[in-house]
Structure 1
């Protein structure tokens, strides 16, 4: 038997078993359910946050980070809500909840989680920036979360891979290349399955499933924006000064959205200013 095939077969069993899906803490799930409603109640969200001192501390830490620089220091959830606004506060809450849910002590897994998390946050920022730039007011409240969740399948797969490595021990001969192939080939399906299991709105599930497919619904504007944001972030992740905007400007997404090259250049500058990307070396 091919050892690699055997490993993949066993790993697929771990992945396909929803019992191995990451599970949100009940309090975090309640907050997430409220935030993703069509008309969430800010007062209820604040009450739920305050009941969890750890979550409160993490939210204030993020609210005072360089990502939100210039907005002034905040020391209470009430101040955070007043200074950041409801949508921005909700974005931070979701960011903190998900980050706490995907944390590993296994070096190979942690390294990938950290890089992936940075990409997800950057894509969330880029999606929100583009929606604001294009004046897509109806999509702005959903934009950050949509970008943040687009690669959630990879984070879920990394959790399954870690469980597999722990259970199989010496039999889990997973090379970095094999792990990367698993993430690339399975993350859309896994992301859709995870977000569906978490009962998140269909729009986020679709984006997790369809952000790489060739044939997608052009009228799904938020999906198109996330796909473009993802492209820009991958370009900036590469940090290659020789790479220009030709590929992005020739994409179907820029054509659908009517985006000009100057807009993409402004987005890259905004991401560098927010500390979400390094300027080309």
Structure 2
């Protein structure tokens, strides 16, 4: 195989197979499709949620969390919808539905998935925080989802790489350094493809495709927010004293959004705080 087929070719061949596509079950797809509508029918959504015990449990757990303590107990999905509100309800649903694709049994792939999921949730939290901070209320329904799904192309690639690891015919198993390079170079295009296959709105597909590109639509405020938050999250994850916020503060995204040095610093603090409170 060496000299004939590259590892990139092997991965692209694997991606063409439907078995390498991270899937949403028909039930999960139905829940997602209703949740992301501009005006979800919460009677329909409640019925769909009740068919998924895990999702039902997570919704009720959140509605009865310490944040809502003092409002009395909630034991039905209908009451949980009223308590949580539309945006929070949809965010919980999307997080729970997509986390199910991050459960590989392969130790190498699992380690990547854990880091990817934590990064995705941080970007979701950070994007929502930034939208609120900038008072861009029209973006509130989309901010968390945009941050959560922006790197799903990496999940697509990891699923394909896992199949290669499991294959008895593949002569080459990519080492971690090569996996990192593959994820960095290919995930944006793969993210666009995956979100298209999942029938997600074009807003989220464009963010998955353009969150690293040099040329992008500077009028797309949600894209700008995800790009900025993604950089802050990466800076935190780098965990190096050599990295600071100066490049982010002086970035085009921060300038267009009007995110001051104080704003970016407060975003970092909010993300650090959320990171310490979230189970890893």
Q: Same fold (TM over 0.5)?
A: yes
| Residue of structure 2 in register with 1:215 after alignment | 215
Q: 1:26 to 1:255 in 2, by over 3 A?
A: same
CA contact (8 A) 2:15 2:160 kept: yes
Q: Establish whether residue 133 from structure 1 lines up as the match of residue 133 from structure 2.
A: yes
> Any stretches of 5+ residues in structure 2 without a counterpart?
none
CA contact (8 A) 1:127 1:229 kept: yes
C-alpha distance in 1 between matches for 2:74 and 2:226? 30
CA contact (8 A) 2:102 2:110 kept: no
SS at 2:67 equivalent? coil
1:77-104 C-alpha deviation (Å, 9 max, x unpaired):
3343233221111101100100012310
Shift of 1:19: 5.1
C-alpha distance in 2 between matches for 1:191 and 1:223? 14
Report 1:26-175 matches (<5 A). 26-61=26-61, 63=62, 70-72=67-69, 75-168=75-168, 171-175=171-175
CA RMSD, Structure 1 to Structure 2 (Å) = 2.2
Q: 1:167 to 1:60 in 2, by over 3 A?
A: farther
SS at 2:212 equivalent? coil
CA contact (8 A) 2:102 2:117 kept: no
CA contact (8 A) 1:120 1:149 kept: yes
1:132-158 C-alpha deviation (Å, 9 max, x unpaired):
111111111000000000000001111
1:115-138 C-alpha deviation (Å, 9 max, x unpaired):
110000000011011111111111
C-alpha distance in 1 between matches for 2:116 and 2:227? 16
| Residue of structure 2 in register with 1:184 after alignment | 184
The more displaced of 72-81 and 49-58 is: 72-81
C-alpha distance in 2 between matches for 1:218 and 1:122? 23
SS at 1:275 equivalent? helix
Q: How many residues matched?
A: 275
C-alpha distance in 2 between matches for 1:64 and 1:107? 34
> Any stretches of 5+ residues in structure 1 without a counterpart?
none
CA contact (8 A) 2:154 2:187 kept: yes
Q: 1:154 to 1:277 in 2, by over 3 A?
A: farther
Q: 1:218 to 1:56 in 2, by over 3 A?
A: same
Shift of 1:213: 0.2
| Residue of structure 2 in register with 1:15 after alignment | 15
| Residue of structure 1 in register with 2:250 after alignment | 250
